[in-house]
Amino acid sequence: MVKEKRIGTGKSSLLLLGVMLLGSFLSAAAQDRIKIELNMGQERPRIAVPDFKGANGDPQTAPLNTVFNQVLWNDLDNAGIFDLVAKSFYPSQTPGQPAELQAKAWGDPPPNAGVITFGNLGVNNGKVDVQGWLYDVKNPGAPQILGKQYKEDATPDMARTIAHRFADEIIARLGSGIAGIAESQIYFVSTRSGNKEIWSMDYDGANQKQITKLGSIALSPRISPDGSRLAFSGLAKDSWQIMMYSLELGRTVAFPRNAGDNFSPAWASDGTKIAFASTVHSGLSEIFVADANGAGARRLSTGKGDVSPVFNPKTNGQIAWVSGRTGLPQIYVMDADGSNVQKMTDQGYAVSPAWSPNGLLLAFAWVRNYGPGVLGGSDIYLMDIASRQIIQLTHDGGRNDFPSWSPDGRHIVFQSNRTGNEQIWSVLADGTHLQQLTRQGRNSQPNWSFK
Amino acid sequence: MNKSTSNRIVVLGVLAFLLVASGCKKKQPAPPPPPPPKAVSATLSANPTSIEAGQSSTLTWSTENATDVALDGNKVDPSGSQTVSPTQTTTYHLTAKGAAGTQEATAQVSVTPKATPTPTPAPTPPPITEDQLFAQTVKDIYFDYDKADLRPDAQQALAQAAQVIKQKGWKVQIEGNCDDRGSTEYNLALGERRADSAKQALIRNGISADALKTISYGKEKPQCTDQNEDCWQKNRRDHFSLLH
C-alpha cells in the first residue's frame, strides 16, 4: 500500500516535503515504516564542491582554507537537498577563478555535475579574503548562478562563518528559495559544568558555549524568534520560574514571577507571546499564555498535568501541548484562546511536541507500544496534522526525546541515549543523515533557533 | 570574722582602755562638774547574712557609752559576737541603753530551705532537633509508575503524620519526584500531581492549606541512578521538608 502526500509551501509550487507512506500504521499487519523524502520536485542537484584554492603563500592561508573547505562541504552535504559529487570523480584541474573553469569536464561523466561551486581563499594583512562562485555546468553557456566575495578577520572562526554564509547563499539559490541553516544555532541543556545549564552551539555542533550560570538547574531553553533572548525554566530558591537571558546583554534579565512552579516556555513565532506551564491557579500544571514581557498571564487549559506548549509557527493561532488528563501523557492541540481542544494521540506515552515551520507537521516523542515491561523505548515520530498520518523517524532504540525543527523544516535535532547517555543528534526529516553533535557530559532538550 | 571587723574591735578596745584609764586618773583631783552624758551608739552585723537551714551565721555587735546591752532581750557584753543558727529568716535586735538614751540596731539572717540532694539524673537520650523529629515523623511516600494516586500505606502514613504536624504547628514543603524514565518536562507535571496528592490528603486530615507548600523536582533530584525497579521505585516519591 503506497500513498503519497504532498505538502506545499503555499507560495511556491515546488514540492517541499514529499511524504511517502511505504506502509500505513493503521494496518496492524503492515510494516509501519514511513519515509519522508525531501526534494525540490525534480532530481536533487548534483553539485561538485572542489576545494577552494589558496590564493597566496601567507602562512595562515593554508590552515584557514582547510577549515573553510571542510565547513562548506559539510554544510552543503547537511542541507539534504544535494547529491555531492564524490571527489574521486573530479578532473585533475581545479578552478580557482571563473577563467579556469572547464565546464564540460565537470558536466560530463564521470563527475556528471549539474552545478559546481569553486573559488579561492587568501590571507592578507590579517584579513581573510574569499571569492566564491556557483556555475551551472549542464547549460551550454555555463552561466554563472552566484558570485560572492567576503573579507573578515583571519581567524578559524571567521573562515567557518564565511563558509556558512556562502553555503546558505547556494542553498537559498538552489533550494526553492528557502534560506539555509548554516548560520543557525542550537540551544540545549548540558551537565558538563557540574549542573544543568543552558549551552549553545552552531547547527553542526561546532562552537559549544555555556550561556547560563544559574548554579541550580536550568531546563527547557527556548530562543526568541529574533534570536536576542533565551527563555528557560530555572529552579529558583523555592520554585521553578520562567527566566529570561539576554544574549545581547550577556545576562539574565527580569521576568515576572508567578506563585507556584512555572516551566516549559514557548515563543510565538512573531515574538509577541510566551506560553508556559504553571501551577499558580490550581496547584497542578496548566497552560498559560502571557505577553513576551511576561505581563498579562492568562490560563488556557484546565488539565491535570499540562505541560510543553508549542505554537503553530505558521499562524500562531494554535498551541500543541502534552496532558496527562486521561492517564498517560498524550498530545493535544487547541486554538490559541484555549478553545477547540483536540486529542491528537490516543495510545502509548506521547510527549514533547514540536511544530514544523510550515505548520503542517508535529514532531513528538512516543513510547508507542507502552505497556508493562515495555518501558523505555521512546522514538521520534512525525504526524501530518491534517490527515493524522504518523511517520516514525528514529528506529534505533534507546530513549529519543525533545525533537526541534531546523528553520528550513528539513532537519530535526533531538536528544538520544542510544550511545549510553543522553546526547544531541540531528537528522534529516527523511530519517537520513543522522549525526551526533555533542559528546561531553550529558546533553538534552535541544532547541533550534528560528533562523 | 573578717579582718576589718577585728581591726575595729582592737581600735574600740584601745579607746575603751584610754577612756577608763583617763577616767581613773581624773578621779584624783577635786571632782569637776559631771560631763554631759555621751551619746549612745550601737551596731550589729551578721556574717553571712544568708544561710541555708542548718548552717550558722555570726552576729557581731559593738556599742559606745552603753551601760545595758541586750541582744533580743538577753543581756550581753557591750561588744561581742555570737553564733546563731536560725531555722528561718530572723531579724536580731540589739538594744543599748546608756545615760544619754537607748539605741537599737538590727541585723537579719536570711534562711533558705536546705537544698535536697539532687538525685542522679536518669540517662536521657540526647535531645533531637526539630528537623530530626520531623524526619522521623513525616516520611517519604512512594508511587506507582506514572501514577499520582496515593497508595493505601501512603494514606495511612499521612493521616498519622498529620496529627503531629497539626500539634507541632509545622509548615511543610511537599516535593514530588519521578523516576528517570519519563520525559523531563512531563515529569515536572507528574511531580506536581504527586505533591498535590499528599497535600490534599493532609488537608483532609485537618492541616491548613496555608501550612503546606508544593514543588516538583521531576526527575532532577534522584535518590539513585541505577536502571532497575528498586531504584526507580525509590525515586517515585514525595519527600517532605520542614519549612523554617
Establish if B91 belongs to a structural domain: yes
Establish if B122 belongs to a structural domain: no
pLDDT beyond 90 at A176: no
Nearest residue, CB atoms, B193 vs list A304, A308, A444 = A304
Q: Which three cell numbers stand for residue A162?
A: 564565511
Highest-confidence segment of A133-142, B75-84, B207-216 = B207-216
Q: What angle do CA B75, B76, B80 make, to 5 degrees?
A: 165
| Pair B104, B139 in one domain | no
For residue B201, what pLDDT is reported?
A: 98
Q: Are strands A435-436 and A423-428 parallel, antiparallel or unpaired?
A: antiparallel
pLDDT band at residue A191 using 50, 70 and 90 as cut-offs = very high
Which CATH number do you get for residue B178?
3.30.1330.60
For residue B32, what pLDDT is reported?
A: 62
DSSP state of A127: E
For residue A23, what pLDDT is reported?
A: 28
Would you list the domain boundaries of chain A? 3-38, 46-174, 185-448
Poorest-pLDDT segment among A12-16, A90-94, B131-135: A12-16
Report percent pLDDT > 90 for chain B: 46
Average pLDDT of span A426-431: 93
Q: Which three cell numbers stand for residue B106?
A: 538590727
Establish if B96 belongs to a structural domain: yes
Count of pairs with CB atoms under 8 A, one residue in A, one in B: 92
- Paired residues of B111 in beta bridges: B51
Instruction: Respond yes or no on whether ipTM tops 0.85.
Output: yes
CB distance A344 to A333 below 8 Å: yes
Select from B68, B128, B71 the least CA-distant residue to B97.
B68
Report which of residues A41 and A202 the model is more confident about.
A202
Any CB–CB contact under 8 A between A321 and chain B?
no
A283–chain B nearest CA distance, Å? 7
| Pair B169, B239 in one domain | yes
| Pair B84, B154 in one domain | no
Helix (H) or strand (E) holding A113: none
Average pLDDT of span A16-26: 32
Contacts of A306 in chain B (CB under 8 A): 189
The residue to which cell 572562526 is assigned: A157
| Pair B154, B74 in one domain | no
| Pair B109, B211 in one domain | no
CB distance A55 to A122 below 8 Å: yes
Beta strands in A137-203 (DSSP E): 144-153, 185-190, 197-202
Any CB–CB contact under 8 A between B203 and chain A?
no
Which distant-in-sequence residues (6+ apart) come within 8 Å of A390 by Cβ? A25, A34, A381, A382, A383, A384
Using DSSP's 3-state secondary structure scheme, residue A263 falls into strand
* Chain-chain contact of B220 with A444 (C-beta, under 8 angstroms): no
| Pair B80, B149 in one domain | no
User: How many structural domains are present in chain B?
Assistant: 2
Report which of residues B69 and B6 the model is more confident about.
B69
First vs last C-alpha separation in chain B: 58
Any CB–CB contact under 8 A between B190 and chain A?
yes
pLDDT beyond 60 at A10: no
Q: Which three cell numbers stand for residue B86?
A: 536560725
pLDDT band at residue B213 using 50, 70 and 90 as cut-offs = very high
Report percent pLDDT > 70 for chain A: 89
The chain A residue lying nearest B209, using CA atoms, is A283
Select from A281, A383, A266, A282 the least CA-distant residue to A331.
A383
pLDDT band at residue A25 using 50, 70 and 90 as cut-offs = very low
Please name the amino acid found at residue A72.
L
Sign of the torsion formed by the C-alpha atoms of B64, B66, B72 and B77: positive
For residue A373, what pLDDT is reported?
A: 60
Q: Give the Cα separation of A450 and B153 in Å (integer).
A: 50
Task: Give the DSSP per-residue string, A279-341.
Answer: -TTTSS-EEEEEETTS-S-EE----SSEEEEEE-TTTS-EEEEEE-TTSS-EEEEEETTS-S-
For residue B216, what pLDDT is reported?
A: 98
Nearest residue, CB atoms, B186 vs list A239, A283, A308 = A308
Contacts of B181 in chain A (CB under 8 A): 375-376, 399
Which distant-in-sequence residues (6+ apart) come within 8 Å of A433 by Cβ? A77, A78, A80, A426, A427
Q: Give the Cα separation of A51 and A76 in Å (integer).
A: 13
Establish if B17 belongs to a structural domain: no
Q: How far, in whole angstroms, is CA A303 from its chain's centroid?
A: 30
Q: Convert the pLDDT of each residue in A302-311 to its tens digit.
A: 877 999 999 9
Phi/psi at B104 (5° precision): -120, 150
Q: Convert the pLDDT of each residue in A90-133 to its tens digit.
A: 999 999 999 999 999 999 999 999 999 999 999 999 999 999 99
Task: Give the DSSP per-residue string, B122-178.
Answer: PP-PPPPPHHHHHHHHS--EE--TT--SPPHHHHHHHHHHHHHHHHHT-EEEEEEE-
Contacts of A378 in chain B (CB under 8 A): 183
| Pair B55, B153 in one domain | no
Nearest residue, CB atoms, A307 vs list B173, B189, B214 = B189
Establish if B18 belongs to a structural domain: no
Q: How many residues are present in chain A?
A: 451
B195–chain A nearest CA distance, Å? 9
Q: Convert the pLDDT of each residue in A145-160 to its tens digit.
A: 999 999 999 999 999 9
* Chain-chain contact of B190 with A324 (C-beta, under 8 angstroms): yes
pLDDT band at residue B116 using 50, 70 and 90 as cut-offs = low
* Exposure class string for B11-35: b at 16+ Cβ within 10 A, else e: eeeeeeeeeeeeeeeeeeeeeeeee
| Pair B51, B152 in one domain | no
pLDDT beyond 90 at B6: no
Q: Give the Cα separation of B240 and B135 in Å (integer).
A: 8
Any CB–CB contact under 8 A between A350 and chain B?
no
Average pLDDT of span A182-207: 97
Average pLDDT of span A405-423: 95
Range of the domain at B108: 38-113
Interface of A with B in 383-402 (CB under 8 A): 399, 401-402
pLDDT band at residue B35 using 50, 70 and 90 as cut-offs = low
pLDDT beyond 80 at A139: yes
For residue B17, what pLDDT is reported?
A: 43
pLDDT band at residue B149 using 50, 70 and 90 as cut-offs = very high
* Chain-chain contact of A375 with B145 (C-beta, under 8 angstroms): yes
Nearest residue, CB atoms, A305 vs list B193, B214, B215 = B193
The residue to which cell 490516543 is assigned: A346
* Chain-chain contact of B146 with A322 (C-beta, under 8 angstroms): no
| Pair B91, B152 in one domain | no
For residue B134, what pLDDT is reported?
A: 96
Any CB–CB contact under 8 A between B173 and chain A?
yes
Establish if B45 belongs to a structural domain: yes
Any CB–CB contact under 8 A between B55 and chain A?
no
Poorest-pLDDT segment among A276-290, A435-449, B12-26, B155-169: B12-26
* Chain-chain contact of A308 with B185 (C-beta, under 8 angstroms): yes
Establish if B205 belongs to a structural domain: yes
pLDDT beyond 80 at B8: no
pLDDT band at residue A17 using 50, 70 and 90 as cut-offs = very low
Average pLDDT of span A130-140: 94
Last residue of a domain, one of B113, B145, B171: B113
For residue A227, what pLDDT is reported?
A: 97
Q: Which three cell numbers stand for residue A425?
A: 543528534
Nearest residue, CB atoms, A351 vs list B145, B186, B215 = B186
Q: Which three cell numbers stand for residue A61?
A: 592561508
Q: Does domain A185-448 have CATH number 3.40.50.10860?
A: no
Q: Give the Cα separation of B142 and B135 in Å (integer).
A: 16
Which distant-in-sequence residues (6+ apart) come within 8 Å of A112 by Cβ? A46, A85, A89
Which CATH number do you get for residue B76?
2.60.40.10
Average pLDDT of span B81-100: 83
The 3-state secondary structure of A357-388, one letter per residue:
CCCCEEEEEEECCCCCCCCCCEEEEEEECCCC
The residue to which cell 526553492 is assigned: A176
Q: Convert the pLDDT of each residue in A326-345 to its tens digit.
A: 999 999 999 999 999 999 99
| Pair B109, B163 in one domain | no
DSSP state of B16: H
pLDDT band at residue B28 using 50, 70 and 90 as cut-offs = low
Q: How far, in whole angstroms, is CA A443 from its chain's centroid?
A: 16
Class of domain A46-174: alpha beta
Contacts of A279 in chain B (CB under 8 A): 192, 214, 216
First vs last C-alpha separation in chain A: 37
DSSP state of A260: S
For residue B86, what pLDDT is reported?
A: 84
For residue B37, what pLDDT is reported?
A: 74
Any CB–CB contact under 8 A between A238 and chain B?
yes
Please name the amino acid found at residue B72.
D
Q: Convert the pLDDT of each residue in A378-388 to its tens digit.
A: 999 999 999 99
Contacts of A375 in chain B (CB under 8 A): 145, 181
Contacts of B174 in chain A (CB under 8 A): none
Any CB–CB contact under 8 A between B214 and chain A?
yes
Q: How far, in whole angstroms, is CA A356 from its chain's centroid?
A: 10
For residue A99, what pLDDT is reported?
A: 95
Any CB–CB contact under 8 A between A351 and chain B?
yes
- pLDDT, mean over chain B: 84
Q: Give the Cα separation of A155 and A163 in Å (integer).
A: 12
Establish if B16 belongs to a structural domain: no
* Chain-chain contact of B188 with A264 (C-beta, under 8 angstroms): yes
Report percent pLDDT > 90 for chain A: 83
